[in-house]
Amino acid sequence: MQYVAEKCEIETAESIVSTGTEECKKQTKWSELPSLPLEKIYSFLDRNDRVNMSLVCRKWSEGYSLPSAWKTFRFALMESMISMESMDSFPGMKFVRKYSSMFRHVDIYYHILLPCQKDLIYIWCRHFIVFVHIMTSNSQLISVKIHNLFWCFVHIDTSIRGDVKRALASFLKSQHYLKRVEFNYCFNNLQECVELLQELSENSRDSITHLGLRGLTCFGPEDLDQDSTVENNLLTFIGLPSLTTLAINYSVIFENLFARQSVVMKTLKNCQTRVKLSNLILYFDSLSDIERFQGLTSTDWQFLKKLYPDLQVELNFSTHFPSRRQVEFIIVPGMPITRLDYTYSFHPSVIEIDVLFARLLQCKTTDHLVSLCLKWKPPIPDLASTFIPVLQACKKLKCLDLSIIYPANGIDLLMESWLENRPESLQKVFIQISGVEDDHDYSILKNLTTEYVSGLELVGLDVKVDILLKDVI
């Protein structure tokens, strides 16, 4: 009876597929439909339903190359995999040949190899070229992210580098529906950047909503002076009609794109439709020499707000040796920062946290902040007196993510202040306290924070506190 039941189930599933086939022939192409999150559905099904669903997915994949469970593919060859000289002996490539038409999101990572491993670098390039050729022929992606190609290019000769670039350019040119594209540390020079972006905009110009260009910090004014057309071409891409999000390093390139008001105005006039840019994700690393920069002024930001009325800035500020000059140079009045991610990972302290918070208050950044993520390694003398004033000034703050070092002096007073006078917009708080010396101190701090967390949950504030002993940092 069980066999008969299972046979009936299989026949039913195949009947469903057959019926669906006739209906779908009359509809639009499967490749143009949004992909279904079948892998999430599959995990909740029982055995019998999984059998049926597997049959359906198989029929879809064979008949229509429907994007199903394999929506996202990551091309990230490790050293042990690269050593497989033959393309056919590499199992991942077989998978790509069979299922690449189902991919909708592809992440390409170059895991950095040593210069002495040049043979492996060249083998990686050959694998990469084959992969890209397959994707060019078979896929229509929604997003593609490419990481660290710069570290490959600096170790290969001009001929192979040209082969890699041509393969990549053909791939980008073949894509018609890309919405999200990210290049992270991929370019040797600005001309390479422009050439790939031109291929990208050939067929995805109207669909791209998110563009990431990280790793441009190594280029200076001299690079722009060598070719005056580079800047104009970059400005054209910022003016893509559907572009809403740009992720970029704080660099000379960034300044030249946004600081020159007359150039930006010219770009806007050249756009057939008004630019929709609303989210600027900005990365600053203290290793960047700010002496090379001119800096964006308050006037620049006021103009940009007029140009992009919905503009919000997500500032990712990472520093090992922070200074007052750095903070005051990057964070200026009129800069519409809605998310601040500030990481200070070195000890001992060069500046106090009060300097950062004073700048936020002075520039009225607190008027815009929706999310504050702060990783501060030096000990903070008094959490309550440090945080209460700035949090009360943040009228729109919804999320607070705080990573600090033990001792967390004043943590009880800070949490008590939220019970008495909770910031009206604050919804979620995550606090990580690391470096606790021993189990005794851990227990005291754990009991103290747990008591306050319970009370805050009763008043509707979602609070989580993680406490880490020193030996697990």
List, for residues 107-139, the tens digit of each pLDDT value: 999 988 888 888 889 999 999 999 999 999 999
**What band does 82 get if pLDDT is binned at 50, 70 and 90?**
confident
pLDDT at 91: 63
Could you tell me the CA-to-CA distances from 266 to 233, 245, 261 in Å, in that order? 12, 20, 9
**What band does 213 get if pLDDT is binned at 50, 70 and 90?**
very high
Quick check: is 41 in a domain? yes
Cβ proximity of 473 and 434 under 8 Å? yes
Hey, what are 129's tokens? Answer: 């070229």
Quick check: is 268 in a domain? no
> Per-residue pLDDT for 329 more than 90?
yes
Q: Model-level pTM?
A: 0.81
What digits encode the pLDDT tens for the residues 2-25?
A: 443 433 433 433 343 344 444 444
Quick check: is 42 in a domain? yes
- List the domain range (segments joined by +) for residue 51: 33-69
Counting the structural domains of the chain, the total is: 1
Could you tell me the CA-to-CA distances from 301 to 232, 259, 312, 333, 335 in Å, in that order? 20, 8, 11, 8, 6
How open is the CA angle 310-311-316, to the nearest 5 degrees?
Answer: 145
End-to-end Cα, the chain, rounded Å: 58
Quick check: is 340 in a domain? no
The whole-number average pLDDT for the span 405-431 is 94
> Per-residue pLDDT for 34 more than 50?
no
Cβ proximity of 239 and 268 under 8 Å? yes
Round the average pLDDT of the chain to a whole number and report it.
81
